[in-house]
Amino acid sequence: MATFPPKAPTLAEIARSAGVSTATVSRVLKSRGYVAEATRARVAAVLRDTRYRPNVMASSLRTQRSFSIGLIVPAITSNPFFVNVAHAVEEEALQHGYKTIIFNHNGDEALERQGIERLLERRMDALIVCNATAAANVELAIAAGIAVVQIERETSARTPAVIADNYLGAREAMAHLIGLGHRRIAFVGGDPAQLPYHGPQARSVEEQRLEAYREALAEAGIAVRPDYIRLGRYYDIPAGSGRYGREHTQALLGLDERPTAVFATCDVLAAGALQALHVARLRVPDDVSVIGFDDTLAGNLTPALTTVAQPMQDMGAEAFRLAMAALGGDAEPRTVTMATWVVHRGSTAAPGATR
């Protein structure tokens, strides 16, 4: 019959079959401290053919280090941005011997709190919070004595953070459109009122992007038209669809003087915009130009979307590095702002252009 509980061998068992003490086994495992070549070989052999696998929990208990890092994100299914950030954190962490444990908060403050509690119970060495819903939650983790880093949105002033340069990114998008000759440019983006902000920066992500839009128009001598500004949420957390982008764009197309370009501050919104334009039988970019933000879905859309890229890879990796630094005692909560850039694909052109 099969060997029933194929229980994983323990250090002590290894020690016994190798005829040494657990201390010695531990030493060869960690290749640390003195150990005679003869014994090391003997132990190594037993380790190998017994398929020994250290029990990380026991080790963590003893060393008070879990080599795990918690990552809290909104629903990972709602926006590919979060998946990319998560993957980046994961990769960087792995390279440093860390495992990333992900928790979704679905945009719900209570759920976020619970997620942080669970992660704290598992004694994460550090915590990375992407899009924190409440400063209190972030500070809950700080109070527990853990290193915390924020990504994308600075909700609490008390941790290091890595964010993209939202103002400049939006300015670049506008410069691109205006440079192409557009003057009737609509803005489809997040609503500062619906995404309340009480953080350390003067303005929220949404306010920064909107401000960039306004200032870019002003500098170009173009009047801001309130009916060209459509604000709301980025996506439907349960549905995860581009619904809002569609609706806003439909509304814009109903205007008697419709815009020649749409600046959507999220690729998910832009995807909906492209759909609405298609349904209205307008061609992109011939009839209307569209530019997005994030560079997530962009490459998969039709037409391929010109968009403002955020360095998601670097942001995730940098967040991990900041967390490690904080763990190492670097206490200053510096904010790293990362550059964005426009990726030119096929969705923008001069107004009225007919290829």
Cβ at position 24, least distance to DNA in Å: 4
Task: Determine if 59 is a binding residue for DNA (CB under 7 A).
Answer: yes
21 contact, one of DNA, its own copies, none, CB 5-8 Å limit per kind: DNA
The number of residues making up the chain comes to 355
Task: Give 7 or 355: the residue with its C-beta nearer to DNA.
Answer: 7
Compose the 152-191 pattern: x for residues touching its own copies by CB under 8 A, - for all others: ----------------------------------------
Q: Which of 26, 84, 166, 307 binds its own copies (CB under 8 A)?
A: 84
- As given in the structure block, the two tokens for residue 277 are 């334009």
Draw the binding track, 295-314, toward its own copies (x: CB under 8 A; -: no contact).
--x-xxxxxx----------
Residues binding DNA: number (CB under 7 A): 33
Listed residue (206, 205, 209) closest to 168, CA to CA: 209
Residue 34 contacts DNA per CB under 7 A: yes
Decide: is 4 part of the binding site for DNA (CB under 7 A). no
Tokens of 178: 């205006």
* Residue of 26, 133, 306, 348 that binds DNA (CB under 7 A): 26
The answer to whether 179 contacts DNA (rule: CB under 7 A) is no
Query: Which of DNA, its own copies, none does 256 bind, CB closer than 5 to 8 A by kind?
Result: none
CA separation for the pair 223, 204 (Å, rounded): 24
Q: Which is nearer to DNA, 61 or 94 (CB)?
A: 61
Q: Tell me whether residue 208 or residue 347 sits nearer to its own copies (CB atom).
A: 347
- Contact status: 89 vs its own copies (CB under 8 A): no
Q: Phi/psi of residue 302, each to 5°? A: -125, 120
Nearer to DNA, 53 or 281 (CB): 53
Q: Which does 20 bind (CB under 5 to 8 A by kind): DNA, its own copies, none?
A: DNA
| 21 lies in the site for DNA, by CB under 7 A | yes
Stretch that binds DNA, among 19-27, 130-138, 155-163, 224-232 (CB under 7 A): 19-27
Three-state secondary structure of the chain: CCCCCCCCCCHHHHHHHHCCCHHHHHHHHHCCCCCCHHHHHHHHHHHHHCCCCCCHHHHHHHHCCCCEEEEEECCCCCCHHHHHHHHHHHHHHHHCCCEEEEEECCCCHHHHHHHHHHHHHCCCCEEEEECCCCHHHHHHHHHCCCEEEEECCCCCCCCCEEEECHHHHHHHHHHHHHHCCCCCEEEEEECCCCCCCCCCCCCCHHHHHHHHHHHHHHHCCCCCCHHHEEEECCCCCCCCCCHHHHHHHHHHHCCCCCCCEEEECCHHHHHHHHHHHHHCCCCCCCCCEEEEEECCCHHHCCCCCEEEECCHHHHHHHHHHHHHHHHCCCCCCCEEEECCEEECCCCCCCCCCCC
Q: Which residues, numbered 126-155, are part of the site for its own copies (CB under 8 A)? A: 143-145
CB atoms within 10 A of CB 18: 19
Least distance to DNA, CB of residue 312, Å: 34
Chain contacts with DNA (rule: CB under 7 A): 7-8, 10-12, 19-24, 26-27, 29-30, 32-36, 38-40, 52-55, 58-59, 61-64
Chain contacts with its own copies (rule: CB under 8 A): 5-8, 51, 53-58, 60-61, 66, 75-77, 80, 83-84, 86-87, 90, 99, 101-102, 104, 117-118, 120-123, 143-145, 241-242, 268, 271-272, 274-275, 278-279, 297, 299-304
